[in-house]
Structure 1
């Protein structure tokens, strides 16, 4: 007769057999439930000193993480890592844009001057555009251009012919509930957000309010000690990334992720030592790693978090091209088991195609999961819709 001890393998037994398992190779057996669903606490840590309400991280990809994604993720209790596939100055500007928001979105609306004659494509998929005297955010707001009012692409008309007068502006310091109440009280479909200095920051619409109210109430927003959204950013390991690092710290990045497919290199170790010596107050996340030996080197160098995964992402080819890597389930379990003893949280990076994969990663020891393709193409991801 079978005993309870034979009813499945423990994680320690399963992962000690010398076999590399992916998430799809592993399934958990159900247990006894003696608590309600609302008693589940998803709060966790991105790194040693960066807490989160939910264990979700947006990947540092240029098709995923810019200002809009960073603001949205932080508002829901997670965090985004702003990609480094741009100039250091531009990346720092994205970090500042996300951290300056109190609303859980950044529209990045186009701004036109009255004399400009944009086509529908120039609206970049947005329903609205802002119109200012000089066509930039620092000049006086004149009105709002509605994409539906724009002339055909063959004969674009000046914005001045169809722009609508600017409605009463809302303060850029409003939080979401204040902005929603402002629209309702004024009976407006949209309102520009303007700073005390007169800079046009964004536009809030009734559609935004409806969309955000539909968000699940997952947890408290991710806020830093300064009361602003928590935003992370990525760097590489080249010498000029030291300048990038400095600009990101000045912009207020709460954590820095060293972005490399193979983290156990002399280049990354040198960057970790430099960053921890120069900016000891900022948490540093190293990786990627899949073995305990790799994790040992990075932890000894001073990292505050580890990214785990090699070749398991939807667009990764490391295992096919370089013949190195490891099944993600095994990698997460092995690295997390070691990192836990050193108080270093682990980010399971890659291989997340279903919500069940998130459950598996967390159950195997990860503190958070990093998602790329899972979020790409969402409303908050960079890029414009193309209509055919």
Structure 2
């Protein structure tokens, strides 16, 4: 008689303990396919499919329009934070929807009456070396010229207007909005210019292409097909709260083209979310609503029965979250994903594993335990596309990163996600800090995904659907690692080493 070798998910997660990703290890399966053949395409909500099972977290130091554009370009999806006015959030949606893959996301644009001192401020804040000058200072209006460092570096009078120093449109080489990206790239390389403004037939600015932009694309792994909606626009989601004003916000976001709404709360099992789901499904039935956060089956079932099109799973597992410490409520993320996934499967609704992701192995564990998508915050923080400025701390180039439950974020308005009203005492459920410069997510994500594909290959699963079937029928076995086993599974017994992820 063969002794039991490992545990099924049902057996492992019914022993009275809650586990994190690091606690759990899977057993290898039989390999009869190449890692490149693994299909990780999935759904982020009931009606939205994506090729790459990663989405960016709606945090104010992680996702604004530039991050959302980049996520969609690599086949994933970004969710805009709502620690901003409704008007600002709508504007970010419009930027994503108007963006053409391959071009500069959110290029610097100013009006002809703007001064060099204003340009200096913009360059300091965003690091641009050039700015397009249009009639009204926004995209979609007539292009008048281009200003680069060469035009302004020796001008001492910083009250000089851009119209006085710009290279006029008649002297520029221009790209066309009516031709493919590859044609405009060829034009840029042939003319040996650094910038190629893209205009439509009426001479209005629609985009910008730079040599650095092209060089970066050629030097990083291929991104694959972008994630597009039914209108051929980049996919984009957004977070809202559950207050009455958020109902108006949701309608305006829908009008701007948002594809999915996340009801953003650290504890989503509330009458407020139930009422908001009911309102949104009645008023905006075409819009997918992702509820949460939840970590138990009872929480999940209530929201799913109310009509949620997706669930966000996780409470206190983020690197900057202190909810479990402060409130003594939450659950280990591996257990939460498994348990909620069992209920969501009954409703055929996908779940998003939110929190606890640090590497490709954690992505494998999240997906194999029942999630359809992994949501990343800290992994994408500090990247080129994350909001905020780079600065140096102790000689290291860093960006700020903070939890939405930190006091800093609450001062900006995020206290509503913790069901806290203005005027009440504010108790931090997160921290603020800094993270190292991680470069572009367009370079990072292809490596993360290939690492995840190799993990699926070792499991013997060639698709997300297959691994979920293996989990359901008990063919995928696993165990809990002791502290010693976790130590053994990492780097050890080295005098010195350099850990390079890719």
Shift of 1:152: 8.5
Q: Which residue of 2 aligns with 1:91?
A: 89
2: CA distance between counterparts of 1:360 and 1:49?
A: 24
Q: Aligned pair 1:328/2:330, yes or no?
A: no
SS of 2:128's equivalent in the other structure is coil
Q: Which residue of 1 aligns with 2:478?
A: none
2: CA distance between counterparts of 1:153 and 1:125?
A: 19
Q: Which residue of 2 aligns with 1:51?
A: 49
Q: Which residue of 1 aligns with 2:122?
A: 122
Shift of 1:195: 4.0
Provide the TM-score with structure 2 as the length reference.
Answer: 0.72
- Rate the CA distance shift 1:163–1:153 in 2: closer, same or farther, 3 A: closer
- Rate the CA distance shift 1:202–1:272 in 2: closer, same or farther, 3 A: same
- Rate the CA distance shift 1:156–1:39 in 2: closer, same or farther, 3 A: same
2: CA distance between counterparts of 1:73 and 1:213?
A: 18
1: CA distance between counterparts of 2:108 and 2:179?
A: 18
Shift of 1:6: 3.0
Q: Aligned pair 1:346/2:351, yes or no?
A: yes
| Per-residue CA distance 1:47-74 (angstroms, 9 max, x = gap) | 1110000101011112221222111111
| 1:112–1:129 contact (8 Å) kept in structure 2 | no
Q: Which residue of 2 aligns with 1:248?
A: 253
SS of 1:6's equivalent in the other structure is coil
Which one of 34, 38, 41 corresponds to residue 40 of structure 1?
Answer: 38
2: CA distance between counterparts of 1:187 and 1:171?
A: 17
| Per-residue CA distance 1:145-170 (angstroms, 9 max, x = gap) | 22466448996363456543442222
Shift of 1:131: 2.6
Q: Which residue of 2 aligns with 1:223?
A: 228
Q: Which residue of 2 aligns with 1:164?
A: 167
| 1:307–1:347 contact (8 Å) kept in structure 2 | yes
- Rate the CA distance shift 1:37–1:153 in 2: closer, same or farther, 3 A: farther
Q: Which residue of 1 aligns with 2:66?
A: 68
The residue correspondences of 1:228-239 to structure 2 (distance < 5 A) are: 228-239=233-244
Shift of 1:143: 2.4
- Rate the CA distance shift 1:101–1:139 in 2: closer, same or farther, 3 A: closer
Q: Which residue of 1 aligns with 2:495?
A: none
Q: Which has the higher helix share?
A: 2
The residue correspondences of 1:136-147 to structure 2 (distance < 5 A) are: 136-137=138-139, 140-147=142-149
SS of 1:142's equivalent in the other structure is strand
- Rate the CA distance shift 1:313–1:186 in 2: closer, same or farther, 3 A: same
| Per-residue CA distance 1:89-138 (angstroms, 9 max, x = gap) | 22112111111112245133142535602264421211211234554446
SS of 2:116's equivalent in the other structure is coil
2: CA distance between counterparts of 1:100 and 1:285?
A: 24
2: CA distance between counterparts of 1:106 and 1:284?
A: 27
1: CA distance between counterparts of 2:192 and 2:154?
A: 30
2: CA distance between counterparts of 1:313 and 1:147?
A: 41
> Can you give the 5+ residue segments of structure 2 that lack an aligned partner in the other structure?
394-502
> Can you give the 5+ residue segments of structure 1 that lack an aligned partner in the other structure?
none
2: CA distance between counterparts of 1:47 and 1:102?
A: 24
Worse overlay, 137-146 or 371-380: 137-146
- Rate the CA distance shift 1:174–1:243 in 2: closer, same or farther, 3 A: farther
| 1:102–1:173 contact (8 Å) kept in structure 2 | no
| 1:290–1:309 contact (8 Å) kept in structure 2 | yes
Q: Which residue of 1 aligns with 2:267?
A: 262
| 2:75–2:224 contact (8 Å) kept in structure 1 | yes
SS of 1:353's equivalent in the other structure is coil
| 1:309–1:328 contact (8 Å) kept in structure 2 | yes
2: CA distance between counterparts of 1:236 and 1:386?
A: 32
| 2:109–2:139 contact (8 Å) kept in structure 1 | no
Shift of 1:203: 2.1
Shift of 1:233: 1.1
Which structure carries more relative contact order (alpha carbon 8 Å, separation 6+)? 2
Alignment length (residue pairs): 386
SS of 1:130's equivalent in the other structure is strand
Q: Which residue of 1 aligns with 2:486?
A: none
| 2:318–2:356 contact (8 Å) kept in structure 1 | yes
2: CA distance between counterparts of 1:275 and 1:189?
A: 47
- Rate the CA distance shift 1:331–1:277 in 2: closer, same or farther, 3 A: same
Q: Which residue of 2 aligns with 1:275?
A: 280
Q: Which residue of 2 aligns with 1:385?
A: 390
Worse overlay, 204-213 or 182-191: 182-191
Worse overlay, 333-342 or 7-16: 7-16
- Rate the CA distance shift 1:377–1:113 in 2: closer, same or farther, 3 A: farther
Q: Which residue of 2 aligns with 1:365?
A: 370
